[in-house]
């Protein structure tokens, strides 16, 4: 049986590179992204970043797509941030 492992390095930023990922929201946001990845079968190896962007290293499974993983992590985490109202304005 063949062995396949594809590593993807995702980098995404806040809208207009606004410094929204401050210390108060960083820990809960990262914890949520990790939980969400685990629940959806996404192999998240590492996650880190600074105030206006983050990096995620993913070991992609053969049945997954780059776009779908990005949607499940990036889109869902932005939606979650707005639901939690961790910031005064909208998180984008």
Angle (CA) 71 11 58, round 5°: 70
Which residue's entry shows tokens 């949520």?
A: 32
Residue 43 resides in a domain? yes
- Torsion angle (degrees, nearest 10) of CA 67, 31, 25, 87: 60
- Give me the pLDDT at residue 89, please: 65
Identify the top-confidence range among 8-12, 51-55, 80-84.
8-12
> Which CATH number does the domain housing residue 76 bear?
3.30.70.1290
Residue 33 in contact with residue 74, Cβ under 8 Å?
A: no
What is the predicted pLDDT for the residue at 26? 87
Report field, pTM of the whole predicted structure over 0.95? no
Backbone angles phi, psi at 49, to 5 degrees: 170, -170
Quote the number of domains for the chain. 1
- The domain of 42 spans 6-84
pLDDT tens per residue across span 43-66: 999 999 988 899 999 999 888 999
């Amino acid at each position: 049986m063949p062995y396949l492992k594809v590593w993807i390095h995702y980098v995404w930023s806040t809208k207009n590179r606004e410094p929204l990922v401050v210390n108060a929201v960083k820990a809960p946001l990262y914890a949520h992204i990790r939980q969400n990845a685990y629940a959806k079968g996404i192999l998240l190896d590492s996650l880190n970043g600074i105030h206006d962007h983050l990096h995620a290293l993913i070991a992609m499974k053969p049945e997954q797509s780059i776009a779908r993983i990005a949607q499940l992590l990036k889109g869902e985490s932005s939606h979650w941030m707005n639901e939690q109202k961790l910031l005064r304005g909208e998180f984008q």
